[in-house]
Chain A
């Protein structure tokens, strides 16, 4: 990976992930999201997003609108 990649890391309350979940579908089809993953085994259910276009506020509002908490980790 080169240094131009931009990563956003969030603490969430997304406990489970499946291809039918709203979060899964929304992130998969979002054009601004290059790659994403959620570590559901971790206590912080860490959401990791690679994007060149979105801001952290925009990502938070996407996740919030799907009924989940989302807070940027610094």
Chain B
């Protein structure tokens, strides 16, 4: 007879994220994970039915944390520049604070698990709805030039994610050492706002 233990569950999540980031899904197994956590495989199976179940739950957990974090101090009713700035601040703060989670989420996002994780997440639905509303309001208030969805996203968030990537790698093009500062984020943001404003 076995019961669950929430401290162990947290350890399992942390270690699973580490292993998926290091080895990808192929190199990741329940046995390896159990060893890394110093628990028996049997204990691991109390928490999760199988590897797929674990990956799905992990994705849902990280997604939930990300969406909650991103919505902090944000409202879709905000003026466009103000709201987008909060999005930039929240998204970069999350990436800085939880680099492993972000890297793991990227792996999961590009896997066949992504669809079912997002479909089952009410946080994801709320997040999408909120972002959609934000952009619609900006268009209605003539704070935003008309753009196709993909172009809007690339211009509005692309520069931030590229800078965050440089920061994570510690270098930019051609290996130039790079650290992301608030000044650089602001410089990029101002350029983005200029190009998106009518």
Q: Which residues of A contact B (CB under 8 A)?
A: 1, 3-9, 37, 39, 41-44, 46, 48, 72-74
Q: Which residue of B3, B4, B49 contacts A48 across the interface (Cβ within 8 Å)? A: B49
| Residues of chain B lying within 8 A (CB to CB) of residue A7 | 1-3, 45-46
| Residues of chain A lying within 8 A (CB to CB) of residue B43 | 9
Q: How far is the CA of A71 from the CA of B49 in the complex (A)?
A: 17
| 11 chain-A/chain-B pairs, Cβ below 8 angstroms | A3-B4, A5-B4, A7-B2, A8-B1, A9-B42, A9-B46, A41-B50, A46-B30, A46-B41, A74-B40, A74-B42
B2-30 toward A: CB 8 Å interface, digit per residue (1/0)? Answer: 11100000000000000000000000011
Known contacts A9-B42, A9-B46, A73-B41, A43 near B4 by CB under 8 Å: no
| Residues of chain B lying within 8 A (CB to CB) of residue A39 | 30, 45, 49-51
| Residues of chain B lying within 8 A (CB to CB) of residue A3 | 3-4
Chain B interface residue count, Cβ-Cβ cutoff 8 angstroms: 16
| Residues of chain B lying within 8 A (CB to CB) of residue A46 | 30, 41-42, 45, 50
| Residues of chain A lying within 8 A (CB to CB) of residue B51 | 39, 41-42
Within 8 A of A (CB), among B167-192: none
- B165: Cβ under 8 A from any A Cβ: no
| Residues of chain A lying within 8 A (CB to CB) of residue B41 | 9, 44, 46, 73
